[in-house]
Amino acid sequence: MLEVGTKAPEFTLQDQHGNNVTLSSFQGKKVVLYFYPKDNTSGCTKQACSFAERHPQFMERGAVVIGVSKDTVESHRKFAEKYGLPYILLADPEKEVHMLYDVWKEKNMYGKTVMGTVRTTYLIDEDGVIVKALGKVKPGENPQDMLDLLDE
């Protein structure tokens, strides 16, 4: 996980519509950047829908929500349509941004060591600096936790 107080690494990835999205294009806004393992799995769907329910509250606070996984643009499009997700989902199938943000790690799954995405959320300020970093977040609680952090 990246350190609080460091500049968030720049990246460009495609969103669920195939558009290129660059982190620096959100300069002047707060960004909630969350990494999740896989579209259409129970925990990830719970997290995504919870962010969607609270999306107006994030907008009121001037924050942009961006979800990132190693799924494809097409998978994200279907996921967003199925659940009415109103925010940006970025495709990182090569895991380049996962590596930049130090969320691709060894995990223990059913007694086996595997590589995978550690569910992590970063709060990036208007100047592109990481002000909060939460690792191993709980899918259902993460969106409200982020709103609470925005209110601090």
CATH number reported for the structural domain that contains residue 38 in this entry: 3.40.30.10
pLDDT per residue over 63-121, tens digit each?
999 999 999 999 999 999 999 999 999 999 999 999 999 999 988 878 888 899 999 99
Residue 6 lies in a domain: no
44 among known catalytic residues: yes
Residue 3 lies in a domain: no
Residue 4 lies in a domain: no
Distance from first CA to last CA of the chain, Å, rounded?
A: 22
Residue range of the domain that includes 123? 12-150
pLDDT per residue over 125-148, tens digit each?
999 999 999 998 999 999 999 999
**21, 44, 88, 137: which is the annotated catalytic residue?**
44
pTM of the predicted structure, to 2 decimals: 0.95
How many other CB atoms are found less than 10 A from the CB of residue 152?
Answer: 7
Residue 7 lies in a domain: no
